[in-house]
Amino acid sequence: MEDLELVVKPEAARLLTKISRFLTEEGIPAYLVGGFVRDMMLGRETADIDIAVAADALSVATEVAAALNGKYIPLDEENGVGRVVLPDNKWQIDFTTFKGSIEQDLARRDFTIDAMAIELDKSFQTVLNTERLIDPFNGREDLHQGLVRAVSETVFEADAARLIRAVRLAAELGFGIDDFTETLIHENSRLITDVAGERVREELLRLLAIPGAGQRLAYLDEVGLLTTLIPELNPARGVDQPRIHVWDVFDHSIQTVAAVEFVLREGTWEYAGEEILTPVPWSAELSRHFDREISSGSTGRSLLKLAALLHDIAKPQTRTIDDDGRAHFLGHQQEGAATAAAIMERLRFSNREIKLVELLVKYHMRPTQMSHEGIPTRRAIYRYFRDTGEAGIDLLFLCLADHLATRGPSLDLRQWQEHAQMTEYVLARHFEEESLSAPPKLIDGNDVMKTFGLSPGPRIGELLETLREAQAAGEVTTRQEALDYIGHLLNNQTQTLRSEPSQGEK
């Protein structure tokens, strides 16, 4: 690898020149530190700048925000971390306080590649002399080697969130974790339970957003972190499944995450190739759907991977064996949805994130239940999207991934092609015929009560829902047809009641 240069992009250099001049005029010693220095040396784009100052960082951040017409955010008042967000929202500048020397401050950081600094002064340029780099732990050499290495033996004791951050950082950079650090992670894995749920959520989502999340989750398990974070997964180890399954419940769950990435075109999967991927529907519209933001830090993609990890989490406790020795997992979807929600609440996910994953786990078998033979009916498609809501499209792809991770290298190509064709058909009907999943309102409850002399109650809602199904099936298209259809329903109900024997006749 060629020597790593200290090159700052022009826009960042102009911003840093303004900041350095302001701090120099105020007589405040300041250093560029952490991820910005690392990414600058790797030539990676970044909008996050970390600056350590020998002063009250909160006061400095307030003054810089005013000088640059930015917004000040007290990020961590207890530890003295202030953030400045510039008007265009492109740059985030975090200020921290260091005491003693900058070398002492770097010694308290996590990994060598983040424990480098450059002094800020008026002579800041786009290309910096490498002699200006302060690198007491040879982080530059670890960048050359592509390694994440802990600064000291106590880094995880000081902040246990660094345990999962090490894995996430290695994944983002395409680096490995050196043996010393890997051993430290394994020895300190139990400490992750002391980390605030919000911080675990952030790191987990960032890890899931990176292609190759299936392999990274397997690695988290190797170093003792996965089931320490989510102990509800541990009972799944060694739980055998019916013969069509290649893996036990635990390994199947990991493989389902990898298969999700495969069907979402994020990367390859070792058990399938282009022949398997070709029949799976894909479009720019689908790509945008999975890229949609669900909550701060999460997208449809990342939450689909989380749901894939958790979709069979209740199988161990619902497992029964019939008289023929076959295993069954009745009710594991519903129980699993409740378990997944509890896990996500513990990790401080938002209500919308929890609801989406709940639906994905609860209905992960629903797509294949739409039609046992041939293509699904219009009514079946309507009922499917009615029940699954925002999760409807995501579920189709989770079900495909579940299929792959069930059969693995033993996949039956004909059955797979039929599954993919069914998925394509349902998606095509959904996108082309909006009325199929959301029929236009032809009449409302007031119309029904006024026309047929009915009183308010649940019966009105039941009649309107039956009408919507008929609309979705193409049986009703106008207001008059809707009223006639309701009248027909009421007439049939009346005749049924009249034909039933009375209590005395029974």
Mean pLDDT by 10 residues, the chain (506 residues): 65 86 90 91 87 94 92 84 85 91 95 94 64 91 96 96 97 96 97 94 96 95 97 95 92 98 96 96 96 95 98 95 85 96 97 98 93 79 90 97 96 95 93 71 85 85 80 77 82 68 51
| CA distances in angstroms from 247 to 239, 314, 324, listed in the order given | 9, 16, 21
**Which residue in the block uniquely carries the two structure tokens 């690198």?**
135
Give me the pLDDT at residue 12, please: 84
- Cα separation of 287 and 266, whole Å? 11
Give me the pLDDT at residue 205, please: 97
- Cα separation of 175 and 195, whole Å? 24
Give me the pLDDT at residue 380, please: 87
What tokens were used for 15?
């911003």
CB-CB neighbours of 35 under 10 Å:
16
3-state SS class at 111: strand
Give me the pLDDT at residue 1, please: 40
User: Which phi and psi (to 5°) does residue 90 adopt?
Assistant: -85, -35
Give me the pLDDT at residue 448, please: 82
- CB of 165 closer than 8 Å to CB of 134: no
Give me the pLDDT at residue 501, please: 59
| CA distances in angstroms from 86 to 20, 83, 94, 296, 398, listed in the order given | 16, 10, 12, 19, 39
Task: Say which amino acid occupies 191.
Answer: L
**Helix %, strand %, coil % of the chain (to 5):** 60, 10, 30
**Which residue in the block uniquely carries the two structure tokens 């990994």?**
111
| CA distances in angstroms from 355 to 198, 314, 460, 487, listed in the order given | 17, 17, 28, 37
- What the chain holds in terms of domains, given with CATH numbers, is 6-144 (3.30.460.10), 146-229 (1.10.110.30), 237-437 (1.10.3210), 445-499 (no CATH)
